[in-house]
Amino acid sequence: MIPEIGQFALIIALCLAIVQGIFPILGAQLNIRPWMAMARPVAQGQFIFIAISFACLMYSFVTDDFSVLYAASHSNSLLPVQYKVAGVWGGHEGSLLLWAMMLGFWTFLVSIFSKNLPDEMVARVIGVLGLIAVGFLLFLLLTSNPFERLLPAAPDGRDLNPLLQDFGLIIHPPMLYMGYVGFSVAFAFAIAALMSGRLDAAWARWSRPWTIVAWSFLAGGIGLGSWWAYYELGWGGWWFWDPVENASLMPWLVGTALIHSLAVTEKRGAFKRWTVLLAIIAFSLSLLGTFLVRSGVITSVHAFATDPERGTFILAFLVVVVVGSLLLYAWRAPKIGQGGKFELMSKETMLLVNNVLLTVIAAAVLLGTIYPIIIEGLASVGVIEATNKVSVGAPYFNAIFVPLLVPLVFLVGLGPLARWKKAEMPDMLRQLRWAFIASAIVAVVVPLLMGGWSWLAALGMVLATWIVTTAAYSIRLRFKATNAALPWGHRLNAIPRSFYGMHLAHIGVAVGIIGGTLVSNYMSDKDVRMDIGDTVEVGGYTFRFDGVIETKGPNYTANRGMIRVLQDGHEVMTLEPEKRVYTVQTMPMTEAAIDTGVWRDLYVSLGEPVSGGAWSVRVYHKPFVSWLWAGVILMALGGITAMSDKRYRLMARKEGKAKNEAGMAVPKIAAEKA
């Protein structure tokens, strides 16, 4: 009964989405008030019905209803309850339902937090979101119905993939989808602007907080995925340039360009067409990601059960959305006008270069990801030999990414300090000479401290130090511009949160670079055969193998290794890596044992048993790896901080302005004149 309710709720949601997609947009176009007014309530209704549907699916999982095919394929009665809940999005159909629900949720939020927006804009934004929802709901109902029945019901389910039976499944997909789907709001704003023909600073101000929040969630989601892969997959890698990882990175890169572009449109009324285009591209890449993961065109550890039929549907949907929006762009963009004038050396130009770099990196990632398809396609029509098929992996992406990162990071330092319209370069560079010097010194010292010279490590340290020192300089400069008569607490408060957010996010980049560079260049590991009592030394620690015991978990049996870790002869900890065999899927799984620290992680994974009670063991010392996750957290926090800037909290705007302008009035005008 419940699954049928779930399916029915989806159908109702689809109907509401159709209404939501058509009437408000027509209403805005033809100025029919009642139609525009439908937007909010219909959107809210749609969300409620999708939520009901989602709840029904979750109910089926939690109550072990194996007459639902999806539940029977991805769950099991022995599965711990938290994984029954998370398992709802562990497969293709359920994760799509999650996507649809996130979309409904974001639309719901837009319907609530848009009181200050003009009605036609709200109507159009919600309308566009409705059209997207129609696409997803149709896809669900026509090709990927999570409520399909299995009759007669299976006696028990096939169990959730053991790799997914982990905390990571509970948090990574929801956060990632919040980000992916969030870009649909930026997209909807862009389409609404194109439809109305009105694209100005006010539009940018409305659009910006939504985009920043989506970007922060996507950053968090990607970081979580990376962390999960790190501890789950058993060898401590954290980024593989896997097609599905790339699918999430591309919209994030373009999203980064977008938030910077929005800043310019908001403050200077410039880049309007670029901003709109970037918003369209960012969401298109989100949809493209959905396609790549579910269509079978690429192989990946992440790929869902693939099906060319589903792939065709998503591709068709992608084509409709992107061609539609790009046609609208080609038609309307010329009318939008160019916006402000600025010099070759200016903050605007630097942000423009920043956007070009980010877009090129995203394009390179796309190229590398689909290149095997290009080659194979050319081979299948006889243009080249089939054996030219190449695989594009980490070496390629790293080779492209690192050189492009350098000018980008250089701009991260310069950009905040440059003036709008016309920047005094020689002056700026002179002011930053200490940043140059500090970066050079750190670049030489740190690699030597870490144990050996490495050009890549030096480069990473130059980049990171550059960001941190220029940020510190910029903050100091801004602080000095506040009213000296006030106490410093007030002075700090007088500086807008968007300023702090920016620097916090940039520092997050620096921290991430430090983590990535140092762990890649100074990681040490040993892959050894250990008899009981054997020791191995890695990274200054001694690891002693004390044998393996057998244990049982709720739905698996395991061999647990006991590894005693000694430092300077004292025992400091015991690490217990496991080799598990899950009852249902009988897949062997490695659970690495990790000791996380600020300066290093110790990582041990159990290999295979070899003759005589010995096991092969892989022991790693990974310096600074936790800085990677810390960096991402800082970036996301930076985004949220920037978004909480007073000018977006419109209720408090008047008051807040009064308090803060008092601290800022005189120096601000003086600075403008300079």
Partner 1 sequence: MKLKFLLPLLIFVAIAGVLWKGLSLDPSAVPSPLVGKPAPQFELSQLHQADQTINRDSNLGKVWLLNVWASWCVSCRQEHPLFMQLARMGEVPIYGLNYKDERQDAIKWLADFGNPYVISAHDYSGRVGVDYGVYGVPETYVIDKLGVIRHKHTGPVSAQALQDTILPLVRELKKG
Partner 2 sequence: MKKFMLVALLCLSFPLSIQVQAKEAEYATGTPEIHNRVMGVSEELRCLVCQGQSLGDSNSEFAVDMRAQIQEMMEGGMSDRQVVEFMVERYGDYVRYRPPFKASTLLLWFGPFILLAVGVAVLYTNVLRRGKQADEAPLTEEQQRHAAALLKQDSGENKA
Q: Is 353 in the site for partner 1 (CB under 8 A)?
A: no
Identity of the residue, 20 or 369, whose beta carbon is nearer to partner 1 in the bound complex? 369
Residue 286 contacts residue 221 (beta carbons within 8 Å) = no
Q: Does 545 bind partner 2 (CB under 8 A)?
A: yes
Write the interaction track for partner 2 spanning residues 611-650; mark x where CB under 8 A is met and - where it is not.
-----xxx--------------------------------
Q: Does 142 bind partner 1 (CB under 8 A)?
A: no
Evaluate whether 322 touches 214 at the Cβ level (below 8 Å).
no
8 Å CB contact between 630 and 244: no
Residue type, 530: M
Q: Applying CB under 8 A, does 301 fall inside the site for partner 1? A: no
Which amino acid is it at 411?
Answer: L
Does the protein bind partner 1 through residue 588 (CB under 8 A)? no
Residue 372 binds partner 1, judged by CB under 8 A? yes
Q: What angle do CA 454, 455, 459 make, to 5 degrees?
A: 120
Q: Segment contacting partner 2 (CB under 8 A): 190-198, 206-214, 255-263, 395-403?
A: 395-403
Q: How far is the CB of 329 from partner 1 (least distance, A)?
A: 6
Q: Which is nearer to partner 1, 269 or 372 (CB)?
A: 372
The span from the CA of 624 to the CA of 658, in Å, is 44
**167-196 and 308-336 helices cross at what angle (nearest 10)?**
40
Distance of CA 309 to CAs 139, 144, 312, 320, Å? 11, 10, 5, 17
Return the residue of 37, 379, 402, 492 that touches partner 1, per CB under 8 A: 379
Q: Is 337 in the site for partner 1 (CB under 8 A)?
A: no
Contact flag: residue 387 with partner 1 (CB under 8 A): yes
The window from 130-138, 259-267, 381-389, 432-440 that contacts partner 1 (CB under 8 A) reads 381-389
Among 31, 77, 116, 312, binds partner 1 (CB under 8 A): 312
Per CB under 8 A, 380 contacts partner 2: no
Beta bridge partners, 565, equal: 543, 573
Q: How far is the CB of 330 from partner 1 (least distance, A)?
A: 4
Determine the Cα–Cα distance for residues 592 and 635; give it in Å rounded to an integer. 28
Binding of partner 1 at residue 377 (CB under 8 A)? yes
- Token pair for residue 477? 């400069």
Contact (Cβ atoms closer than 8 angstroms) between residue 605 and residue 235 = yes
Q: Is the CB of residue 17 less than 8 Å from the CB of residue 49?
A: no
DSSP-assigned letter for residue 165: -
List binders of partner 2 among 224-253 (CB under 8 A).
234-235, 237, 240-243
Size of the site for partner 2 (CB under 8 A): 76
Residue 225 contacts residue 266 (beta carbons within 8 Å):
no
**Residue 197 CB coordination number (10 Å):** 9
Q: Name residues whose C-beta falls within 8 Å of residue 150's C-beta, 6 or more positions apart in sequence.
A: 66, 67, 68, 69, 72
For residue 1, CA distances in Å to 58, 150, 491 come to 14, 13, 62
From the list partner 1, partner 2, none, partner contacted by residue 333 (C-beta under 5 to 8 A by kind): partner 1
Q: Which does 296 bind (CB under 5 to 8 A by kind): partner 2, partner 1, none?
A: partner 1
- 340 binds partner 1, rule: CB under 8 A: no
Residue 560, binding choice from partner 2, partner 1, none, Cβ under 5 to 8 Å by partner class:
none
Residues in contact with partner 1 by CB under 8 A are 277, 280-281, 284, 291, 295-299, 308, 311-312, 315, 318-319, 322-323, 326-327, 329-330, 333-334, 366, 370, 372-374, 376-377, 379-380, 386-387, 389
